[in-house]
A and B are shown apart, each in its own frame.
Chain A
Amino acid sequence: MMGWESSLPLLLFLSSFAPGLVIFFLEEEAHTTRTVLNLFGALLKLALLAIMVPGLLEGRVYETRLPLLPEIDLVLRADSLSVLFIVLSASLWLVTTIYAIGYLEYSPNRSRFFGFFSLCVSSTMGIALAGNPLTFLIFYEMLTICTYPLVVHRGTPQAMHGGRVYLAYTLSGGVVLLIGVIGLHVLAGPVEFVDGGALDAVGARSPEALRWLFPFFMVGFGVKAALVPLHGWLPRAMVAPAPVSALLHAVAVVKAGAFGIVRVVYDLYGVNLAHELGLIDPLLIAAAITIIVGSLFALNQDDLKKRLAYSTVSQVSYIILGAATFGLFGAIGGLLHLVHQGVMKITLFFCAGNFAETLGIHKVSEMDGVGRRMPLTMAAFTVAALGMIGVPPTAGFISKWFLGAGSLQAENGWALGVLLTSSLLNAAYFLPILYRGWFKPQQGAWPEEHLYGRMETHWMLLFPPAITGAFVLLLGVLANMPFGLLRWVEFLILLEYRL
């Protein structure tokens, strides 16, 4: 491999890290410079990906190594699984950045906000690229720290409370993960992530110890992935501004947890070993419980963002359900949902943010007739909500289809039941919103209306959900096209199952 290619993963990290650091030192009024830096970082990241993807398809691996500890390097490695996550995060980051610029145009502390925002995305890049557990842990904790200032951005008592709860959960989770990582290091020496699993030899030697360590990883990641009962922070973190919610739910935090579980199951233990040790069945049950309980909680929320938050609790566990279902179909469904859930949920949060910013709507009960006032936003919301329910031809349908097929393949008929129940519950909390928005007449004046000329809202707030909403449809309709997401995921899963 040529020298410069080995620096690509590092550049991928730096493309948001460096602009983030510069942004901290910008004056509040340096609006243009900040915007240029933000967009430059986001676009540079996508350009770097465009360079790397052809190489990855040829089976090449891009890797940056920095010596960190004796025997353990800081490894940033772009393999096919990390690139899946990176493509998702980098694209959604670009859209979210545009949205955030529009959203925060007139609010204070923008430099601070965008600085930490960039650091969050950089941490996510680090998580995606981490080539060994220690590197993963480092960026995972960095993400925790950088997200805190965003959650408490408004500085209100509720925001401070949300931030405190967030840190209490995630730092405790981080400690549990640290125990898992250091325990594995003491047990197995330096280990790196490998397609198909890296612990076969250790598994043969000391299966009992590996069984003991697995829950530490799952709980450590489960906190961010909002596995019930570790999900308590997520609804409370809803006090953060809408772009932050988008970041938490779709781009970075929750995804980092789910990605960690996928990494550990596939590339650390290896799905075959995890299956042999009987580790993935408990995980499957945890995911199933989370899916149902999250949806049940969502039913009773009148606060729109809270309802969406509980919906995330439920939907992210689809990814875990897929990872914990032994068999190709389930695995494909899980990884597809990693991407699909991100695109759908970010759309929903963009729309919720638009309703709040434009009309002052925060509650489901205030949404009567909103479709007439903001048709484009409501349309994007509708597409994404239908996707969440799993209606064809949206993206959500594709992943649920594979997950269902996977459950049957693994002879887990009850898991199919869970999926169907969850879809019914999804419908039960999303369809009333759609009904209110489209079919009920408006009741009185909007709580707090802002006018934006002929558009229904500011264009920077309108485009992002329109684009991601379109993607919810495209990812469903064009799922089977050559070089599409499905092909990529199939390619990946075959590697993970060593087929």
Chain B
Amino acid sequence: MIFEAAFWLPVAIMAPLLAALCAFLAPQRMSPLVTMIGAAITFVAVGFLSALLVRDGPTRHPVGGWGAPLGIDLAADGLSALMLMLTAVVGAAVALYAYGYFNFPGHNEETKQRYASFWPLWLFLWSALNALFLSRDVFNLYVTLELVSFAAVALTALAGKPDVLRAAMRYLLVSLAGSLFYLMGVAFLYGEFGVLDIDQLKKGVTTAPSLAAAAGLMTVGLMMKTALFPLHFWLPPAHANAIAPVSALLSGLVVKGSFYILLRAWLEIFYPLSHTGAPYLLMGLGGVAILWGSLQAIRQTRLKLLIAYSTVAQIGYLFLLMPLLFVKEQSALALTGIVCFILAHASAKAAAFLSAGAIQLVTGDDRIASLRGLMEMQPLAVVAFGAAGVSLAALPPSGGFIAKWFMLDASLAHGDWLIAAIIVAGGLLAAIYVMRVVAPLFRQPDDAVLHRLTLAPKTMTLSAFSLAVLALLLSFAGIAVMEMLSIGAIGMLGIE
């Protein structure tokens, strides 16, 4: 039984969900333990699932024996497996960090009470994300999308300050609007084709006007949730004001969830529209996002806002290669590049937020100006930030570099000089904003300030550091990602 993917598909969703329930009901001090058990089981499920995918190829399983279109089908291919693994690894590191963060001596009792809800919320988010990656039905995807958003908004609000409540409210409204757009798109699809299952849609779609309407509505909805320029306005305040472990989850994983749906939707449902201007429009917005987000990041005076704007910029890269996904010769390279970028960005950005959080706990504020000399006090956190920055700026050796290598290779082979130029320029701009943080860290410390500091616990700095190291080690993951994607994902385009 355990050697059947069908067994593990529901486990990957139910294990964190049940653990969330237990963590919610259990006494407060037990929740970390419950979380750990739930996380361990989910880890095993994701591991088995991925290994079985490699052995047996893509899988699809009707839960409870009810097949589509009535029942709920769960399905996995190489792309979903990579996303599941990413979520598990980044999530686990963040959870380890959170444990240290919540036990930092500086917090008062009331804050600790509030932080205790992190554990069930985080498990719930994990379950929702896993469900998202395993769904094959546009309506079920809508449901998972909503679950992800609610968990994410609730996590954002955990910080409890007025600023963050305002940001969380805005996040909630944008999210709801995005879902609404998405749902209207789904309605168009259902009205025209009478099915919601992606595999059936893939076979049945025609270039009807309602397909264009559905594409437009769903894309706009998902752009809102993914925070693609110019619909990114909600992201910086939400990601910057949340507590550090939550920022890491939001920037690292949550925005990738909605992008995942967008990617699949275009590759498998809306592909007849690939010759229209739409992919180029997304590319253009991505390009502007890279340049504008980076320039905003350079201008920030607060550390976490800088990192949040960096997310705005880096999301642009996900869209930059949209047109190339539909060019037969470049499709595989482009998809590999995008997925490598997702992996690299998730680990690097999570590492950046986590180390920023560790530094912030120590300095007591969020200004870049207060970072002076912390290299001597918190070397591990600083090195983690630096290594994450290397990946964000796509310098070798890092996962970010490999991703951009694929992207550059695909775009230049297709003769798209402009895309290549934006990729390169974006790397330099990223180096500038990373250095705006790193340089003060290396300055001579101000002795009077340093003596007042309490250091962040080792669990925090170590988990930030390991994510940063992961971002660097991903430089060797290019081939593995490509092989993983060849399990059902490369060539998932409807047209052959």
Q: Is the CB of B443 within 8 A of A160?
A: yes
Known contacts A138-B397, A175-B428, A178-B424: A69-B379 contact under CB 8 Å: no
Report the separation of the CA atoms of residues A222 and B379 in the bound assembly, to the nearest whole angstrom: 33
Q: Does chain A have a CB within 8 A of B204?
A: no
Report the separation of the CA atoms of residues A142 and B390 in the bound assembly, to the nearest whole angstrom: 10
Residues of A within 8 A of B174 (CB): none
Which parts of A145-180 form the interface with B (CB within 8 Å)?
A: 145, 149, 152, 154-156, 160, 163-164, 167, 171-172, 174-175, 178-179
Q: Interface extent on A, as a size class?
A: 35 or more
Q: Is the CB of A183 within 8 A of B412?
A: yes
Known contacts A69-B402, A138-B396: A186-B379 contact under CB 8 Å: no
A473 to chain B minimum Cβ distance, whole angstroms, is: 40
Residues of B within 8 A of A185 (CB): 409
Residues of A within 8 A of B476 (CB): 66-68
Report the separation of the CA atoms of residues A67 and B475 in the bound assembly, to the nearest whole angstrom: 11
Residues of B within 8 A of A175 (CB): 424, 427-428
Q: Is the CB of B395 within 8 A of A145?
A: yes
Q: Is the CB of A182 within 8 A of B405?
A: yes
Closest A residue by C-beta to B435: A167
Report the separation of the CA atoms of residues A145 and B391 in the bound assembly, to the nearest whole angstrom: 12
Q: Kindly identify which residue among A108, A138, A155, A172 contacts B443, using a CB–CB cutoff of 8 Å.
A: A155
Q: Is the CB of B405 within 8 A of A160?
A: no
Known contacts A164-B435, A182-B405: A154-B396 contact under CB 8 Å: no
Residues of A within 8 A of B4 (CB): none
Residues of A within 8 A of B396 (CB): 137-138, 141-142
Report the separation of the CA atoms of residues A243 and B237 in the bound assembly, to the nearest whole angstrom: 45
Closest B residue by C-beta to A178: B424
Closest B residue by C-beta to A69: B478
Known contacts A167-B431, A175-B427: A160-B442 contact under CB 8 Å: yes
Residues of B within 8 A of A183 (CB): 412
Closest B residue by C-beta to A138: B396
Q: Does chain B have a CB within 8 A of A45?
A: no
Which parts of B453-496 form the interface with A (CB within 8 Å)?
A: 475-476, 478-479, 482
Report the separation of the CA atoms of residues A160 and B441 in the bound assembly, to the nearest whole angstrom: 10
A366 to chain B minimum Cβ distance, whole angstroms, is: 26
A240 to chain B minimum Cβ distance, whole angstroms, is: 12
Q: Interface extent on B, as a size class?
A: 20 to 34
Q: Is the CB of A69 within 8 A of B479?
A: yes
Report the separation of the CA atoms of residues A156 and B413 in the bound assembly, to the nearest whole angstrom: 46
Q: Does chain B have a CB within 8 A of A70?
A: yes
Residues of B within 8 A of A134 (CB): 405
Residues of A within 8 A of B373 (CB): 155
Which parts of A47-87 form the interface with B (CB within 8 Å)?
A: 66-70
Q: Is the CB of B375 within 8 A of A179?
A: no
Q: Kindly identify which residue among A108, A141, A154, A156 contacts B395, using a CB–CB cutoff of 8 Å.
A: A141
Q: Is the CB of A109 within 8 A of B376?
A: yes
B201 to chain A minimum Cβ distance, whole angstroms, is: 31
Q: Is the CB of B390 within 8 A of A163?
A: no
Prevailing SS type, chain A contact patch = helix
Known contacts A69-B479, A138-B396, A182-B412: A160-B424 contact under CB 8 Å: no
Which parts of B380-425 form the interface with A (CB within 8 Å)?
A: 383, 390, 395-397, 401-402, 405-406, 408-409, 412-413, 420, 424
B105 to chain A minimum Cβ distance, whole angstroms, is: 24
Residues of A within 8 A of B445 (CB): 155
Q: Kindly identify which residue among B375, B408, B427 contacts A182, using a CB–CB cutoff of 8 Å.
A: B408
Q: Does chain B have a CB within 8 A of A112?
A: yes
Residues of B within 8 A of A154 (CB): 444
Q: Is the CB of B439 within 8 A of A160?
A: yes
Q: Is the CB of B439 within 8 A of A164?
A: yes
Q: Kindly identify which residue among A68, A112, A156 contacts B379, using a CB–CB cutoff of 8 Å.
A: A112
Closest A residue by C-beta to B440: A160
Closest A residue by C-beta to B427: A175
Q: Is the CB of A155 within 8 A of B479?
A: no
Closest A residue by C-beta to B483: A70
Residues of A within 8 A of B376 (CB): 108-109
Known contacts A112-B379, A145-B395: A68-B428 contact under CB 8 Å: no
Q: Kindly identify which residue among B397, B427, B428, B442 contacts A142, using a CB–CB cutoff of 8 Å.
A: B397
Q: Is the CB of A186 within 8 A of B478?
A: no
Q: Is the CB of B439 within 8 A of A163?
A: yes
Report the separation of the CA atoms of residues A174 and B420 in the bound assembly, to the nearest whole angstrom: 15
Residues of B within 8 A of A164 (CB): 435, 439
Residues of A within 8 A of B420 (CB): 179, 182
List, sorted by A's number, 26 A–B pairs whose CB atoms are closer than 8 Å.
A24-B383, A68-B476, A69-B479, A108-B376, A112-B379, A134-B405, A138-B401, A141-B395, A141-B396, A141-B401, A142-B396, A149-B442, A152-B442, A155-B445, A156-B444, A160-B442, A163-B439, A164-B439, A167-B431, A171-B395, A171-B428, A174-B395, A175-B424, A175-B428, A182-B408, A186-B412
Residues of A whose CB lies within 8 Å of any CB of B are 24, 66-70, 108-109, 112, 134, 137-138, 141-142, 144-145, 149, 152, 154-156, 160, 163-164, 167, 171-172, 174-175, 178-179, 182-183, 185-186
Residues of B whose CB lies within 8 Å of any CB of A are 373, 375-376, 379, 383, 390, 395-397, 401-402, 405-406, 408-409, 412-413, 420, 424, 427-428, 431, 435, 439, 442-445, 475-476, 478-479, 482
A67-B476, A144-B395, A182-B409 are known contacts; what are 11 more A-B pairs with Cβ within 8 Å?
A68-B478, A69-B478, A134-B405, A142-B396, A154-B444, A155-B445, A163-B439, A175-B424, A175-B427, A178-B408, A182-B420
- Nearest 10 interchain pairs by C-beta: A155-B444, A138-B396, A186-B412, A69-B478, A182-B408, A152-B442, A155-B443, A141-B396, A141-B395, A186-B413
